[in-house]
Structure 1
């Protein structure tokens, strides 16, 4: 899989729909045991959902971590600083593949990031070890690599025209585990784990909104691989757009994008 470059503006074009799963995840996280909680957000992106943590726990010191300079610039500019309850929101560069907590945390969360991290479940032990007793590790990941928007992308990349440029670039189906795998691993690490899946039916406005959506996320590796050849990039996008139009037909009220996500909330034994 190619390491993607990120475009905060493109990502935020569907910010409301993208934030909804994090809001649902946040609602299931119990109150931290500390009065001034220490919170980490792994893969914070442009910081818009990290700011929701400050609304939930206004006294907390919250740090969002990301490895994209463009995303961190947006987060620093738009959200960093003191919070209304006397806490603080800041951001720092870190690679989730190697990030090891340097201090105890009360909450570690990750929103739509771990699917980009091969072997991410192997990192759970270090993160949970850094939680204070009664602390929470919680994450949300897309669980839809079998959906048309991903399957069609992979099929197109594997055609004779594109496989020379895009072979091995896109995420494969094994990038997210099944719920029982996460449940078993988190339970064996001494956590009470709550795992569930939800399918959202996003109604998207405008022309080719599914293409516009995926240009901010799943398509980034392909766009990165073709960035040095705008003509090829545009040709690939045109072919993919036509496939998406057939798979996700536009209705009078908009285009429906079903999107399944997997959630986990793991509370460390007190």
Structure 2
């Protein structure tokens, strides 16, 4: 099921605007992720990068712009977002529809060599800790020695006073930038549901997406680091943070 490129462009641009509501300093976070990749794998002739929970390719497109010699695999379970990404960024990535963490999902990526890097934004705060540990183990097995995982996500401090401060900083930043007035997630999906061209993709989406329980796992950067080290990564820790918006790096 394909989407017209012009229609996809309109809806991906609209997606970008509504996502600004949820990620403090989203563009800067993307820039930091690309900085890490350039520093760690940019010297390789054809670095292989997997973008987990890619959606319509927001991060994949930015990585491709920074590292045009990279081979990118955009991975998501949502057929509409993948179709929008394929149409909007046809030469950016190879698009793979699979559920991250389900048995055999690494095989769905059809890797011809070990990954050099894995990136993700706002996808790895959903799985519960046991499932996330399994995902991290899968990734540790798929990455080459010396490979890197870079996760941009909402990582809230464990201590309640610090958590409240981090959330308040994010709210203040959103007020200053005016991002809180943008269309939200629910409004975007409600509007997409009224587009006739999306009907088949939305039907497929209802079949594909697993049920979700609550807003996410609520894990801190420290807890992610513990799980990553348990999964086989040598080192893990945050390299950038603004409020609760963080970039966590793990080295294989």
User: 2: distance between equivalents of 1:39 and 1:179?
Assistant: 22
Q: What's the counterpart of residue 180 of structure 1?
A: 222
Q: 1:135 to 1:12 in 2, by over 3 A?
A: same
Q: What's the counterpart of residue 12 of structure 1?
A: 16
- TM, length-normalised to structure 1: 0.57
Q: 1:137 aligns with which of 145, 149, 157?
A: 149
Alignment: residue pair count: 179
Q: 1:95 to 1:169 in 2, by over 3 A?
A: closer
Q: 1:91 to 1:169 in 2, by over 3 A?
A: closer
2:51–2:60 contact (8 Å) kept in structure 1: yes
Q: Which has the higher strand share?
A: 1
Deviations 1:121-160 (A, max 9, x none): 331011011111211111121135964899xxxxxxxxxx
For residues 186-265 of structure 1, what are the structure 2 equivalents within 5 Å? 186-188=228-230, 189-196=232-239, 198-199=241-242, 259-265=243-249
Q: 1:59 aligns with which of 60, 64, 69?
A: 69
Two-structure CA RMSD over aligned residues (Å): 3.0
User: 1: distance between equivalents of 2:236 and 2:94?
Assistant: 28
User: 1: distance between equivalents of 2:144 and 2:44?
Assistant: 9
Q: What's the counterpart of residue 120 of structure 1?
A: 132
Following superposition, the deviation at residue 47 of structure 1 comes to 0.8
Long gaps (5+) in structure 1: 1-6, 82-87, 151-167, 200-258
**Alignment of 1:31 onto 2:40:** yes
Long gaps (5+) in structure 2: 1-10, 157-162, 172-210
Q: What's the counterpart of residue 202 of structure 1?
A: none
Q: Which has the higher helix share?
A: 2
Pick the structure with greater CA Rg: 1
Deviations 1:86-112 (A, max 9, x none): xx6221211113232543111111111
Following superposition, the deviation at residue 15 of structure 1 comes to 5.5
Following superposition, the deviation at residue 170 of structure 1 comes to 5.9
2:12–2:85 contact (8 Å) kept in structure 1: no
